Structure 1
């Protein structure tokens, strides 16, 4: 992997990250189409029937419906070869149905870590660990 390829991967990651913080699904969807491989392999607890880039789009549909003000702050971003690792803090206000829970108006703040593998300048594989336990506790779905 050359420095140019690593820089290209970082630029693609930055574009995706910036798009997710617009809160605009059309912008996020367009960016996914541009920087994520259509057949991306998504290793994360995604409770849906779709695969590839469509699964990623569905994740954002669900998240923005539930948390329209969702923001993802990249706390650490590390690049090595064809991989980028990002540790994030996610915040938002629960204003729509999420995981069967009607809107509560409560705010959430939870952590996640994602590893992205790039091929040909596009995200080819994603691994994710999301602190859903904290998220659900803050929403009142689980006892503290």
Structure 2
């Protein structure tokens, strides 16, 4: 009798999907489920602390500025170590963002994230979102 096994790729994709679920639910406290405590963020926001604490701070700040934000994956690619996601980010600027008072304006920008996983946890991330596009759309640039 064959025993079903889950590949590292499948485990990583499941973790990436769970990350999306946590962000959709605004369950920032549970991001420890996905990110290693000492995750290395190669593209942190200005002043962002290291590790999962910094990831949580980023999302708390971003979702305060854009509380209705949605992140819609457009392309997902994975191997046994990495998951890459190209996504559309949309939301309404109703909270302070990078010192900019709420404008009430809607944004829609593209982002990309590459995550390296080990034992089902995100241990390194690289990413970029069209920050210039955000600033332009909220009237700050």
Provide TM-score, normalisation by structure 1.
0.91
Partner of 1:11: 14
1:121–1:111 distance in 2 versus 1, CA, 3 Å: same
1:112–1:49 distance in 2 versus 1, CA, 3 Å: closer
Question: How far did 1:129 drift?
Answer: 1.4
Provide TM-score, normalisation by structure 2.
0.93
Partner of 2:108: 109
Give unpaired runs (5+ residues) of structure 1: none
- The 8 Å contact of residues 16 and 28 in structure 1, kept in 2 or not, is answered as no
Report the count of equivalent residues: 137
Give unpaired runs (5+ residues) of structure 2: none
Larger Cα-atom Rg: 2
Q: Where in structure 1 do 4 or more consecutive aligned residues deviate above 2 Å?
A: none
The secondary structure found in structure 1 opposite 2:108 is: strand
- The 8 Å contact of residues 110 and 135 in structure 1, kept in 2 or not, is answered as yes
Question: How far did 1:3 drift?
Answer: 5.5
- The 8 Å contact of residues 74 and 85 in structure 2, kept in 1 or not, is answered as yes
* Aligned counterparts of 1:140 and 1:49: Cα–Cα separation in 2: 24
- The 8 Å contact of residues 7 and 80 in structure 2, kept in 1 or not, is answered as no
- The 8 Å contact of residues 85 and 112 in structure 2, kept in 1 or not, is answered as yes
2:77 aligned with 1:74: no
